[in-house]
Copies of this chain bind each other. A is one copy, B any other.
Amino acid sequence: MNELAVVLPGLNLKNPIMPASGCFGFGYEYSNFYDLSELGAVIMKAATGTARLGNPTPRVAETASGMLNAIGLQNPGVNHIIEQEVPFLAEYDTSIIANIAGSTIEEYEMVAEAFNDTEHVHALELNISCPNVKEGGIQFGTDPQMAAKVTERVKRVSKLPIYVKLSPNVTDIVAMAKAVEAAGADGLSMINTLTGMQIHLPSRRPLIANKTGGLSGPAIKPIAIRMIYEVKQHVDLPIIGMGGICNAEDVLEFLLAGADAVAVGTANFSNPLVCKEIIADLPDVLKRNGLSSVQEAIGKAVFI
């Protein structure tokens, strides 16, 4: 058996590595660097009901061991994605996860339904945690009842497994996870970015035009690990873990903390080949740490 394989609802992954939503577009650009069939899965950029232009620029800023972004869910709309973007990715031997967002529950439902008939999309990642849009997004992600409601409603209309993407900007992450578990989520995806800000000294103003942005990268890894560890103790759902992963050791840390698979976001910007390199390194990192498979590593630090 393949020591890297993981089976999750809707996802038969040859390895647990996937690029994170928003950090890989729809795969096209990175296909110039390596064969996307090497990836366990690809999580696409967020899809909304209709096209969105996103926020004004500057949209990104570098921070210590991380970055801020406020792209603002720019995307060409769900129909365009299904028609123009999914077919390209479908050519590769990898699973496809669609990240869906909206300003209203109805928009979430509409986007989720649109993916019902695209055989190439294997699961949905329900983005209730985007900090960069005025409406929708994060308000669903910081209130357990709202999170449960949108999960339940999307679950009702969708034929695909739903991974709810949790926001770390909350007092009680376990309460959020329990709420969406009760509402029928098939899995969790965590964490999205932490809301942050940088002041540009010369202009004395927030550097990001949207003022705040989402903090990602190695800086947030300890927070991601803590939240996954906590949630794993209380919730039975599989977890796609993310937040600052840069190498195969980081992947193992997430697996031990309770992630069943992982997504790599910001690190693609520091090295476009990072996912491929992590996949290549992972078997050896497992072995050096006395583990024979990814499956064996999952949750090892939690259940002892």
Binding site for B on A (CB under 8 A): 63-66, 68, 142, 169-172, 194-199, 201-202, 204-206, 211-213, 215, 217-223, 225-226, 229, 244, 249, 252-253, 256-257, 289, 300-301, 304
Q: Are A222 and B63 touching (Cβ within 8 A)? A: yes
Q: Which of B64, B202, B204, B212 contacts A244 (CB 8 A)?
A: B64
A68 CA to B289 CA, complexed, in Å: 23
Q: Are B221 and A63 touching (Cβ within 8 A)? A: yes
Q: Are A226 and B196 touching (Cβ within 8 A)? A: yes
Could you give 14 example pairs across A and B, Cβ below 8 Å?
A64-B244, A65-B218, A65-B219, A68-B222, A194-B223, A196-B225, A197-B257, A199-B301, A201-B252, A201-B256, A205-B301, A205-B304, A212-B226, A219-B219
Q: Are A204 and B64 touching (Cβ within 8 A)? A: no
Q: Are A253 and B301 touching (Cβ within 8 A)? A: no
Q: Which of B64, B170, B205 contacts A221 (CB 8 A)?
A: B64
Q: Are A206 and B223 touching (Cβ within 8 A)? A: no
Q: Are B201 and A249 touching (Cβ within 8 A)? A: yes
Q: Which residues of chain B have C-beta atoms less than 8 A from A301's C-beta?
A: 199, 204-206
A172 CA to B253 CA, complexed, in Å: 29
The complex is assembled from copies of this chain, and their number is 2
> Which residue from chain B places its CB closest to the CB of A194 in the assembled complex?
B223
The 8 closest A-B pairs by CB, nearest first: A196-B222, A64-B218, A219-B219, A65-B65, A197-B226, A64-B65, A199-B253, A197-B225
Q: Are A199 and B63 touching (Cβ within 8 A)? A: no
Q: Which residues of chain B have C-beta atoms less than 8 A from A63's C-beta?
A: 218-219, 221-222
Nearest chain B CB to A210 CB, angstrom units = 12
A85 CA to B221 CA, complexed, in Å: 37
Nearest chain B CB to A131 CB, angstrom units = 10
> Which residue from chain B places its CB closest to the CB of A225 in the assembled complex?
B197
Q: Are B65 and A204 touching (Cβ within 8 A)? A: no
Q: Which residues of chain B have C-beta atoms less than 8 A from A206's C-beta?
A: 229, 301
Nearest chain B CB to A76 CB, angstrom units = 29
Contact status of A256 and B195, CB under 8 A, knowing A142-B171, A171-B171, A219-B219: no
A64 CA to B212 CA, complexed, in Å: 22
Nearest chain B CB to A141 CB, angstrom units = 10
Q: Which residues of chain B have C-beta atoms less than 8 A from A304's C-beta?
A: 204-205
